[in-house]
Chain A
Amino acid sequence: MLYRESGQFSTSYLAEGRLFKLYQQRWGFYALLAFAFLAVPYLGNDYWFSAILIPFLVLSLAGLGLNLLTGYAGQISLGSAAFMAVGAFAAYNFQLRIDGMPLLLGFFFGGVTAALVGVVFGLPSLRIKGFYLLVSTLAAQFVVTWVLTQFGWFSNYNSSGVISAPPLVILGHDFSSPAGRYLLTLGVAAALFWFAHNIVHSELGRRWMAVRDMDTAAAVIGIPILQTKLLAFAISSFILGIAGALWAFAYLGTVEPHGFDLSRSFQILFIIIIGGMGSILGNFLGAAFIVLLPILLSNLSATFLAGVVDPGQLENLQKIIFGALIIFFLIKEPAGLARLWQAFRERSRIWPLRF
């Protein structure tokens, strides 16, 4: 019993529909947002922003995109990185070819383009499921990279086929400093997480889960399968597309299509598997695990073991530890880190009593 829940009742439908019904949770959440938006920009340094926080946020967002599709709507996809690439290259081209295009609108259209491509590659999901669908989304992965490399138009005929970030200016404010890029990423991510959270709790979210659990049954109770699945692909790809644009513009600055290859898709898939399928929080936990843990291990080993152990061996050692941790967590909780956190919270509610 770390905090009291008793005495808090919903007295209106509006209150009942709240994200966090307990005021402790609410205030905790506000405090966290305030910390991320106001305190972190002053506390962090270049290394934290550019190497840790920005990729963490972007990959959380990418995880969210895939989680909507795979965790909520039950459609497995290995094309996440391709949709990110579409978003990045589309946002770049909108920015480049339309004079005076506002940055965020460019991101939005990048996301919309990714959504359209996502719908096209989502069409097979009406006929095939599971691993077979996985194979068809794999096609997206290869086709998109190939098209972006093959046709120079997409990279504005850059001789090396790379795109680089336009000036990051929103309403006259320059966001190109590391702290600015962090705030930009955080702002976009927070907005999309809010959006996704609401979708998941809306009728559409319920339809996704019904399709995920059994699509025949869902069809029988009158859920339009075609529309539901394609909307899942569209919204998922939209978020992935914006994540891709952030990856290109706010994080790396310059990317080539090869930067969005199959291993990135796998990385995003691992984020949601380890974080927790069908969970919003799980995306953060998964991204933290996949992105931050290796960096932490590498920092630790650079501090304590450099010079003692051969650098190549050291790297392999880190991989062994990382792999062992993945196995440990998946055995401990196959439903992901989010489930672990939920179990912890359920216990702490009744603490110090047991069960």
Chain B
Amino acid sequence: MMNIMKKPSVLLGALALGLILSSVSAQAANEQYFPLQSYRVGPYAAGGTGFFGGFIDYLQYVNLKEGGVNGVKFTWSECETEYVVEKGVECYERLKKGLNGAPAAATNPLSVGIAYATLERSTADKLPLITINHGRTDSTDGSVFPYVFPLQLNPYSEVSAIINYIGDKSGGLDKLKGKKIVTLFHGSPYGKETNPILELLAKKYGFSLTLLEVPHPGNEQQSQWLNIRRIKPDWVILRGWGVMNPVALKTAQKTGFPADHIIGNIWSNSEEDAAPAGTAAKGFISITTHPSGTNFPVLQDIDKTVLKAGKGNLQDAKRFGTVYYNLGVVNGILNVEAVRVAQAKFGKRPLTGEEVRWGFENIKLDDARLKQLGAYGLVQPLKLSCSDHEGGGAVRFQQWDGKQWKVISDWVQADRKLLRPIIEESSHKYAKEKGITPRDCAKES
């Protein structure tokens, strides 16, 4: 039997080496740092490369075009997470201190799991955690979650907007009565998150709702779709993820359900979700918080200043203007805007996470400001506050024409008044569990 005596000698050597490396730091510069917990390999690489490509390109664009914000340039470094939670946590801890003296502004992991695992750390470290279009619904309540921002759209708003759209299509929300809607959801916490809200809306508007679960990963859906054929619903809401989406579309075609009555949610809305289904995807509708395409001044400008100069981050230039890339750009616009707002209050210098958080809470993007940014139509009007960390809650609907997405609607707003009490109930439960006293938002300036 061996003993435990000298167990870590090998380990200590390795650790010591790492310690030396991590303690290297240089002089503070006039820079603002973005720690990027990116993922470029693994099963979700398509999303990661697109999103972080767009994000980096936008930061690069602001650096090249305006020399940063008020002379404070952006800097960033990447740490590969592979969408794996522990790796994301390790990256968070590694990068949170900033880079060469440039303080970190906010973290943007684009992963639900990593966001959950770093949620309390972010709060303790006073570093904003941005979960654009996803994340924990009740973190919308900024009085309980001061450092978490599910920007633009949380999962509840998502389904509410879809139901509003269906109501619109049927000629008014009162016409929803008696309609049949089936929701096909991914068998995971993410997939189930919106079920209670759908049930609530079904009761409110009087449509009949059937919830069908597709077990992870969802590459076999024959029985679910046979069920759907039996029910003959007016609409199917697809709350999918990854491979589940194209399989759903193909199986729908096989069982004879029309694709143009399937509405995909925010994780079923990319080129990567529709294209693999081939012709079966033609007509498929999905929601999006931002149109794909390059037809916006800001994207044209990025193309000119960054991509044409050979400084773009994308390996495959054809992905410029896709859903994930544009989401990265939108995310970049919002992060940079928060820094800009915060600088107006705290001074033209690199800011701490706490100051950037104030910036996020005071973002106010109206049509005029969006036109200034060249992002009118790309980003929805957004106004955040201490109590509201989501801001928008609007989506547009797009349809797959077999090759690309075509936007088919204007902004459709979620019924946020209806959702707010439910969100607050949940956030207060969390506050009670954790012993948090919610901030008094009336006193925040």
Closest-CB distance, B40 to chain A (whole angstroms): 4
Tell me if B15 counts as interface (CB < 8 A to partner A).
yes
Closest-CB distance, B49 to chain A (whole angstroms): 7
Bound together, the chains give a CA A19 to CA B434 distance in angstroms of 42
Contact, CB under 8 Å: A312 / B41 = yes
Number of A-B residue pairs at CB separation under 8 A: 164
A252-B117, A281-B2 are contacts. A46–B7 as well, Cβ < 8 Å? no
Q: A285-320 toward B: CB 8 Å interface, digit per residue (1/0)?
A: 100100011011011101100100011101110010
Q: Can you name the residue of chain B whose Cβ is closest to the Cβ of A311? A: B78
Contact, CB under 8 Å: A315 / B80 = yes
Tell me if A11 counts as interface (CB < 8 A to partner B).
no
Q: Hey, which chain A residues are within 8 Å of B187, CB to CB?
A: 146, 149
Interface size on B, residues (CB 8 A): 61
Q: B414-445 toward A: CB 8 Å interface, digit per residue (1/0)?
A: 00000000000010011001110000000000
Contact, CB under 8 Å: A299 / B22 = yes
Closest-CB distance, B201 to chain A (whole angstroms): 15
Q: B331-352 toward A: CB 8 Å interface, digit per residue (1/0)?
A: 0000000000000000000000
Bound together, the chains give a CA A258 to CA B85 distance in angstroms of 10
Contact, CB under 8 Å: B315 / A254 = no
Contact, CB under 8 Å: A299 / B4 = no
Contact, CB under 8 Å: B116 / A254 = yes
Contact, CB under 8 Å: B2 / A341 = yes
User: A255: which of B92, B116, B190 is its contact (CB, 8 Å)?
Assistant: B116
Tell me if B171 counts as interface (CB < 8 A to partner A).
no
A47-B93, A253-B117 are contacts. A292–B15 as well, Cβ < 8 Å? yes
Contact, CB under 8 Å: A161 / B192 = yes
A159-B137, A299-B94, A300-B21 are contacts. A315–B2 as well, Cβ < 8 Å? no
Q: Hey, which chain B residues are within 8 Å of A303, CB to CB?
A: 21, 24
Tell me if B119 counts as interface (CB < 8 A to partner A).
yes
Q: Which DSSP category, helix, strand, loop or mixed, fits chain A's interface?
A: helix
Bound together, the chains give a CA A310 to CA B315 distance in angstroms of 9
Q: Can you name the residue of chain A whose Cβ is closest to the Cβ of B42? A: A315
Q: B276-288 toward A: CB 8 Å interface, digit per residue (1/0)?
A: 0000000000000
Contact, CB under 8 Å: A298 / B2 = no
A25-B5, A281-B2, A315-B80 are contacts. A50–B121 as well, Cβ < 8 Å? yes
Query: B: which residues have CB within 8 A of A?
Result: 1-8, 10-11, 14-15, 17-19, 21-22, 24, 38, 40-41, 45, 49, 77-80, 82, 85-86, 89-90, 92-94, 97, 112-113, 116-117, 119-121, 136-138, 187-190, 192-193, 196, 215, 315, 426, 429-430, 433-435
8 A-B pairs with the lowest CB-CB distances in the bound complex, closest first: A161-B189, A312-B40, A51-B93, A51-B90, A254-B116, A315-B80, A28-B5, A252-B117
Query: A: which residues have CB within 8 A of B?
Result: 19-20, 25, 28-29, 32, 46-48, 50-52, 55, 96, 146, 149, 156, 158-162, 164-167, 193, 197, 201, 251-259, 279-281, 284-285, 288, 292-293, 295-296, 298-300, 302-303, 306, 310-312, 314-316, 319, 338, 341-342, 345
